[in-house]
């Protein structure tokens, strides 16, 4: 896996500096980070299923304004948040760039999982 694309990646936040930002970073190496505009995040997690299975991961945090949307430097359970993200793999997004943002987030979490890294999240 090419981790070069994970080094301080702000591709999906550049140009939106006046809006909210979500940052995912590897605790052991903060240079490995992904910065995401809240609009892309909302496009992914903003319309979850209401099938009664319950929300977890970013869906729970985003919909209920808790954990990663309430505190700073929150450690996440990489397996839980990756599993949640994978629920949206076939979703049709409003913004053309959201699919690439989704793939970057998936790559980031898969890298962390494969290398037993701790991921932290900040929201501004």
For the segment 31-55, what is each residue's pLDDT rounded down to a tens digit? 999 999 999 999 999 988 777 677 9
Question: How far from 94 is each of 16, 32, 42, 58, 98, CA to CA, in Å?
Answer: 17, 28, 10, 19, 8
For the segment 76-119, what is each residue's pLDDT rounded down to a tens digit? 999 999 999 999 999 999 999 999 999 999 999 999 999 999 99
Q: How far is CA 5 from the centre of its chain?
A: 15
* pTM of this structure: 0.92
């Amino acid at each position: 896996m090419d981790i070069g694309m994970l080094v301080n990646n702000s591709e999906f936040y550049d140009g939106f500096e006046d809006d909210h930002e979500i940052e995912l970073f590897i605790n052991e190496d903060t240079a490995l980070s992904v910065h995401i505009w809240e609009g892309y995040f909302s496009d992914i997690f903003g319309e979850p299923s209401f099938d009664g299975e319950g929300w977890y991961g970013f869906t729970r945090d985003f919909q209920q304004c808790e954990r990663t949307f309430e505190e700073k430097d929150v450690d996440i359970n990489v397996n839980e948040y990756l599993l949640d993200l994978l629920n949206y793999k076939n979703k049709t997004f409003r913004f053309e760039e959201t699919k690439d943002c989704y793939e970057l987030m998936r790559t980031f979490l898969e890298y962390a999982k494969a290398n037993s890294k701790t991921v932290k999240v900040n929201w501004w």
